[in-house]
């Protein structure tokens, strides 16, 4: 492989790829503790939904509503699209802008 790199056949020696151990360890940890991927609170979820709305065509609010609805139903949260508020044990209540 080193000779193939020297000859210009390939750009990177696949046998010398570094940094994968850290990524593998992180993925392994996330499999053992799925909560490591969870958002910390309701405000962060609302911020994620707002970013999705801002990135969508014509600032379509429906995508934000989908994110909030899916997250609240998965987490046992009660969310009202008309008021933009939620209630859930362990999460703070938030308001949609």
Tens-digit pLDDT profile for residues 14-58: 877 777 788 888 888 778 887 777 888 889 999 999 999 999 999
Q: 63 in a domain, yes or no? A: yes
Q: 27 in a domain, yes or no? A: yes
pLDDT bin (cut points 50, 70, 90) of residue 59 is very high
Q: 29 in a domain, yes or no? A: yes
Q: 77 in a domain, yes or no? A: yes
**pTM across the whole model:** 0.49
* Domain match, 49 and 75 both: yes
Residue 27's domain comprises 2-37
Q: Which of 84, 64, 67, 63 is nearest to 75 (CA)?
A: 67
What sign does the dihedral 46-49-54-60 (CA atoms) show? negative
Query: Are the C-beta atoms of residues 76 and 64 closer than 8 Å to each other?
Result: no
Q: 93 in a domain, yes or no? A: no
Could you give the number of structural domains in the chain?
A: 2
Supply the pLDDT for residue 4.
86
* Domain match, 47 and 82 both: yes
DSSP for 21-75 reads HHHHHHHHHHHH-GGGGS-SSHHHHHHHHHHHHHHSGGG-HHHHHHHHHHHHHHT
Supply the pLDDT for residue 51.
95
* Domain match, 46 and 79 both: yes
Q: 97 in a domain, yes or no? A: no
Q: 16 in a domain, yes or no? A: yes
Q: What is the pLDDT of residues 72-83, one digit of tens each?
A: 887 665 656 665
């Amino acid at each position: 492989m080193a000779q193939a790199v020297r000859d210009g056949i390939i750009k990177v020696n696949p046998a010398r790829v570094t940094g994968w151990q850290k990524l593998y360890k992180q993925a392994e940890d996330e499999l053992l503790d799925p909560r490591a991927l969870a958002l910390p609170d309701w405000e962060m979820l609302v911020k994620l939904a707002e970013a999705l709305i801002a990135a969508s065509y014509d600032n379509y609010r429906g995508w934000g509503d989908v994110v909030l609805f899916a997250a609240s139903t998965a987490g046992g949260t009660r969310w009202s699209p008309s008021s933009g508020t939620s209630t859930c044990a362990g999460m703070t209540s938030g308001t949609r802008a």
